[in-house]
């Protein structure tokens, strides 16, 4: 297996109470520290849509018509970041593929990001994050919500 993505050595993948596998801090992580970098192949929407049927969700959208994703089944695990969604995330995307800690993170915490900051797709799912400010339903168009734009701008994200 080839690792296409980078996950900090301060992290580990294990079962998540949110969904399936998750990425967890095994050591303290400081605010601003790089936690993960998404790797893979740059694919147009049509290419990724065809591959996703057999590979499952393993992508990150980097522009309206481009995704970074694996292209073969044996690349999938090594391309995964395992960052589940949370409505109260502790990591955020910086640029298009780098994820950094939004605050100091204690060992044992699951590393999560708000998918509204990385998705622009047509989907809807029930949220399992359990955060006090949980939106309940997550969509690929949540990035359009003014309150989320204001919240993340106030935290220094753009």
pLDDT digits (tens, 9 = 90+) for 70-101: 999 999 999 999 999 999 999 999 988 999 99
What CATH number does residue 144 fall under? 2.170.270.10
- Answer yes or no: is 52 within a domain: no
**Structural domain containing residue 18:** 6-36+74-154
Whether 1 maps to a domain, the answer reads no
Q: Please provide the DSSP assignment of 17-66 as one string.
A: SSSSEEEEESS-B-TT-EEEE--SEEEEHHHHHHHHHHH-S--EEEETTE
In a domain, 49, yes or no: no
User: Within a domain: residue 149?
Assistant: yes
Q: Based on the structure, what is the number of domains in the chain?
A: 1
Within-domain flag for 30? yes
Query: How confident is the model over 37-52, as pLDDT tens digits?
Result: 999 999 999 999 999 9
pLDDT for position 82: 96
């Amino acid at each position: 297996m080839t690792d296409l993505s980078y996950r900090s050595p301060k992290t580990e993948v294990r079962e998540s109470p949110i969904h399936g596998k998750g990425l967890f801090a095994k050591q303290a992580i400081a605010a601003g520290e790089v936690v993960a970098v998404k790797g893979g192949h740059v694919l147009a929407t049509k290419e990724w849509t065809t591959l996703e049927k057999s590979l499952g969700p393993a992508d990150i959208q980097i522009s309206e018509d481009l995704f970074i994703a694996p292209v073969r089944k044996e690349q999938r695990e090594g391309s995964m970041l395992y960052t589940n969604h949370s409505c109260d995330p502790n990591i955020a995307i910086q640029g298009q593929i780098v994820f950094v800690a939004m605050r100091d993170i204690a060992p044992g915490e699951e590393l999560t990001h708000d998918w509204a900051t990385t998705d622009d797709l047509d989907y809807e799912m029930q949220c399992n994050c359990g955060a006090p400010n949980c939106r309940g339903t997550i969509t690929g168009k949540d990035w359009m919500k003014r309150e989320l734009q204001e919240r993340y701008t106030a935290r220094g994200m753009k």
